[in-house]
Amino acid sequence: MGFIDPDQLPVREPRPGFHGRFFHSDHMTFSYYTIDAGCDVHPHRHPNDEVWHVISGELEVTLEGEARVLRAGEAAVVPPDAEHSARAVTDCRAIVVDHPVRDSVGGVDIR
């Protein structure tokens, strides 16, 4: 699987309003999200390194109690086991990358 067109992948909704297309490399999981304004991910922790990169719109990310509104081109790096959450301020698009590979997100199988 050397080349990927995320638009050709099935859409899954691991959380209400989080419309994701998922694929994997040998060591990472890539999640291409379109997120509806007002939708959120509750505060949580996991053992994965995770990077949230905003492509369009505004996404508020809270990392270990510090909240920032990210706009297109900005990113948040979430270390393993760090408490974090996210809320779409506007309709937005984001790419989330996890290391190592995840089998599920929000209880939805993404393999």
Residue 2: inside a domain: no
CATH number of the domain where residue 85 is located: 2.60.120.10
**Which residues, in sequence order, are bridge partners of residue 109?**
104
56 backbone dihedrals φ, ψ, rounded to 5°: -155, 155
7 within some domain: no
In a domain, 4, yes or no: no
Q: In terms of residue numbers, what domain contains 69?
A: 12-109
Distance CA 88, CA 48 (A): 22
pLDDT per residue rounded down to tens, the chain (111 residues): 689 999 999 999 999 999 999 999 999 999 999 999 999 999 999 999 999 999 999 999 999 999 999 999 999 999 999 999 999 999 999 999 999 999 998 888 998
> Looking at the domain assignment, is residue 93 inside a domain?
yes
1 domain-assigned: no
Q: Is residue 5 part of a domain?
A: no
Count of domains for the chain: 1
The DSSP letter of residue 10 is P
